[in-house]
Amino acid sequence: MLSIQHIRKRFDDVLALNDVSFDVANGQILGLIGQNGAGKSTTFHSILNFITYDGQITWQGHAFTAQDFNHIGYLPEERSLMTKLTIEQQIVYLARLKGQKARDIRPQIDDWLARFAVKGTRKSKIGSLSKGNQQKVQLICTLIHRPDLLILDEPFSGLDPVNADLLKQAILDAKQRGAAIIFSSHDMENVTELCDQLVMLRTGNVVLHGTLQDVRNQFGKTELFVTTDWSTDRLAALPGVASVTVRQPGQYRLHLTAADAGPAIFQELTQGHYIEEFSQQPPTLDEIFRLKVGEPHA
């Protein structure tokens, strides 16, 4: 388990992290979210010991050792590969930095290239690849040594939906074999789909922490999805309805002033008759993100 306790980091006059604490269990995925500058990369750099910090970070109950760092897979936000190397040379070079033997890594390369649908062979120069294929090679470099701790800084950035799905499956495979995984993303759909829990940072402070459902439930079931022949104006006039959004003709999303308005709206809409859709839910993670980001600074 990765445990981060009361981490604090200041850069001159900027408090980048302020008393940040959370755990990531083995076989668990944590999503780290927040605006640019919220402290996500600083958190990753603290875990990796790239920077000094106040507080405590432990792995499997002890401080990180040099051997432990060999079992970390790290994908930085700024991708960097050596363009004059071949794919094979690049992968083997980075694997050897993690204590791996070239003879163990080379036989795996073709399978990984096929798995990520890289358009190139092991003898292709990195510089000859498209940006997307270079990114996939860097992902292979991050994963090929089967890390026990996986740290991914904006891993989906620049990936099309097909390649994003390939990465998601690789992340889930790592989870299945027991790796602790933490990744940052500005795409709340990825966080919703993959994560067991999430942490939201705002100006270096933890403002949300828990499972996705627990976090959503904190905000109450104020989103109501209905299918009806009522007009938008008629729906908006219902007590407890703050706004109405048309999803499709006859399909609406009602934002409620309070969750307890739902039962009365249900009675008014149905009048004892069948209704095709009536689903009262908490706000989506995307909506919560916008809400928390828009709050005044403490």
Residue type, 187: D
Stated as kind and residue range, the H or E segment containing 280 is: strand 277-281
List b or e across 133-146, with b for residues whose CB sees 16 or more CB atoms inside 10 angstroms.
Answer: bbbbbbbbbbbbbe
**Residue/partner pairs of 108-117 with CB below 8 Å, 24 or more apart:** 108/144, 109/140, 109/144, 112/140, 112/143, 112/144, 113/87, 113/140, 115/166, 115/170, 116/140, 116/163, 116/166, 116/167, 116/170, 117/162, 117/163, 117/166
pLDDT in tens, the chain (298 residues): 999 999 999 999 999 999 999 999 999 999 999 999 999 999 999 999 999 999 999 999 999 998 999 999 999 988 789 999 999 999 999 999 999 999 999 999 999 999 999 998 999 999 999 988 998 999 999 999 999 999 999 999 888 899 899 999 999 999 999 999 999 999 999 999 999 999 999 999 999 999 999 999 899 999 999 999 999 999 999 999 999 999 999 999 999 999 999 999 999 999 988 999 999 999 989 989 988 887 665 5
Distance CA 109, CA 287 (A): 41
pLDDT computed for residue 295 by the predictor: 67
CA 82 to chain centre: 27
pTM for the whole structure: 0.86
Residue 27: count of CB within 10 angstroms of its CB:
15
